[in-house]
Amino acid sequence: MYRLAVEVKASSGVWLVVAALAGAAVALRRASVPERARALRPEGGVARGLPSGEAFAPRVTPRVTPRVDAGVARLSPRPWQFEPLRRVQARPRGLCRALLAGDGEGHLLALADLSPPPGVWSARDAYAVVSRAAGESLGTSAAPDDLVDVTTLEPVEAGRCEPPARQCLRREAAVALRAMLDAMRAEGVDGAVHSAFRDHTTQCAVFQRWAHDPAQGFCRATVGSALPGHSQHQLGTAVDLFTAAWNAAGPSLRAGFGCSPGGRWIAAHAHAYGFVLPYPAPLRGDSDAPCAVSTEPDGRTGYEYEPWHLRYVGPEVLGAWLRERRRGEVFDSWLRRARGLDDDAGLPVCDGCQCGFCSTFAAEGERGPCAEGALRLDVEGRAIGAVEAPSVERLRREGERWQLRVRVPRGTLTAAPAWREGYDELSGFDDAWRLVFRDASGRPRRALALIEGAAPGWVNGAPRRLPTRPGVVSLSLTIPESDVRWRVSVERLVERPARDGAARDTLAGDDASRPAH
């Protein structure tokens, strides 16, 4: 762990001991995607917790038994061993030009985000991470090549899939969906497919319809509808499923479906057919609410609760998620871990709604909605951080209140506080800095992101890198006067092999003392 440290000792006056990092400026490099993937996998490259060399039987509750025909071709030959991350060149055709022009109120997408560089996922990868983040999107022409009509199971080209007239899914997902619909019908619940595969052009039209709805508006639409390129429907494994009874009572896309008979049936049985519900209700207490009427976005996903949105992942991968997931962890966060990605969640793409807390492929100076406070990404979707490290400029105590000033270089990355199990150490990223207060034993007691003011509530929904604004940041924290010795550090996490029983290392140069202001 690299630190820029300031020691505080109250027994004989308050002194500051500024410890400068040894050597030249710290290079804030991140490992390449393949390197990070290998680092999180045991020998053989198999995802953690999954057996190697044998078929994997998901460990699930007795009522959740995979029922998909074993003879159906799997989404990949060995679903529990994810294929290497594939990056594909996005062809800039079929652009959603309305989003380039914007709505006249500052809401638009940069060309680099609407037609991403090679650092995008392949639509043929059934386990691609597709989210609101700039680096987790699909190209304008991306589409799977094994789509079928969900009614007839006849092969269909992507361009001929036009919901609701013709609903399409990848073959294995379509077979699983038909099996689930048969089971629903047998129990008196008549399922109704609202929308399945949608290509980039169709998603553009869907989002524009919501964005121009006077009751919604652009920013409200972004938490209820995916921007083009950011929809799981483009993978050909996602489906919006309602019931005939629900549709007959009013508009399909209204709150409350999760508490309806159809919504309850899906929540209880979808796992048995290889489907996950990737957009759960926001956490309340220690677990997801099984039935909720919520219109607020969930900090873990960035979207509203969608009890009708299902993603097919197959019984093997679903079983691994059920066994390995952490408390409150959504499927996409687990998928990032299983595939060797270190962010639990990315920041939404910059669209003018979350400036200061968004991500973009656009370089500084390129046309876009957010000139400052954007997380800049390289062509492979990795965050670009500053080379120079931040530094503590001033520290002053007023009773139990500490006032601090930190100089933040342009491009510095930070992160919201996140604690490891046991609360004895912080988790974090090797390129994101935070202000950390440690007691005499070195245990962290407080931590702050290098951001002035309050961050949006959803930022704390999952560990993620955050951009900063360059300049001097003023921070404050309350520390009991009974604590006589503290260490105040600007730190970033660097994982190192254990040495002499130590799990981390502190690098510091010669100490220099000066009185407090």
Residue length of the chain = 517
pLDDT tens digits for 7-16?
443 333 333 3
The full DSSP string for 138-193 is: B-TT---S-EEETTT--B--GGG--TTTS-EEEHHHHHHHHHHHHHHHHTT--EEE
Phi, psi of 225 (to 5 degrees): -145, 140
The HSE-up count of residue 317 (CA atoms within 13 Å, CB side) is 28
Among residues 505, 514, 497, 495, which one has the least CA distance to residue 22?
A: 505
pLDDT score, position 284: 65
Q: Which residue has the tokens 């007239």?
A: 165
- Side chain identity, residue 182: D
CA terminus-to-terminus distance, the chain: 28
pLDDT score, position 299: 82
What CA–CA distance (Å, rounded) separates 156 from 169? Answer: 9
pLDDT score, position 425: 61
Q: How far is CA 337 from CA 80, 82, 239, 414, 427, in A?
A: 13, 12, 24, 20, 14
List the pLDDT tens digit at each of the 517 positions of the chain: 444 444 443 333 333 332 333 333 333 333 333 333 333 232 222 232 222 222 222 223 323 333 444 333 345 444 445 555 444 444 445 678 888 888 888 899 999 998 877 656 788 889 999 999 998 998 888 899 999 999 999 999 999 998 999 999 999 999 999 999 999 999 999 999 999 999 999 999 999 999 988 888 899 999 999 999 999 999 999 999 999 999 999 999 988 999 999 999 999 999 999 999 999 988 765 444 556 666 678 888 989 999 999 999 999 999 999 999 988 889 999 998 888 876 666 889 999 998 988 999 998 888 899 988 899 998 888 888 888 889 888 778 777 788 889 999 988 999 877 665 544 566 667 788 988 888 778 888 788 889 887 777 666 656 688 899 899 999 887 776 666 677 788 888 654 333 222 223 232 222 222 223 3
pLDDT score, position 482: 64
Q: What is the DSSP letter of 325?
A: P
Among residues 470, 478, 481, which one has the least CA distance to residue 437?
A: 478
Structural element, H or E, at residue 261: helix 261-269
Strand pairing class (432-438; 413-415): parallel
Both tokens of residue 441? 């034993």
The HSE-up count of residue 242 (CA atoms within 13 Å, CB side) is 17
The reply to whether omega before 280 is within 30° of 0 (cis) is no
Asked if residues 238 and 290 have their Cβ atoms less than 8 Å apart, the reply is no
pLDDT tens digits for 365-398?
888 999 888 999 988 888 888 888 898 887 787 7
Among residues 448, 411, 461, which one has the least CA distance to residue 431?
A: 411
Asked if residues 500 and 458 have their Cβ atoms less than 8 Å apart, the reply is no
pLDDT score, position 250: 94
**Residue 284 DSSP SS3:** strand
Question: Which residues make Cβ contacts (< 8 Å) with residue 242, sequence separation at least 6?
Answer: 191, 192, 194, 252, 257, 262, 308
Both tokens of residue 363? 């370089």
Asked if residues 200 and 130 have their Cβ atoms less than 8 Å apart, the reply is no
Number of H helices and number of E strands within the chain? 10, 19
pLDDT score, position 502: 26
What CA–CA distance (Å, rounded) separates 167 from 112? Answer: 31
Query: Facing residues of 2 across strands?
Result: 492, 507
pLDDT tens digits for 473-501?
998 877 766 666 777 888 886 543 332 22
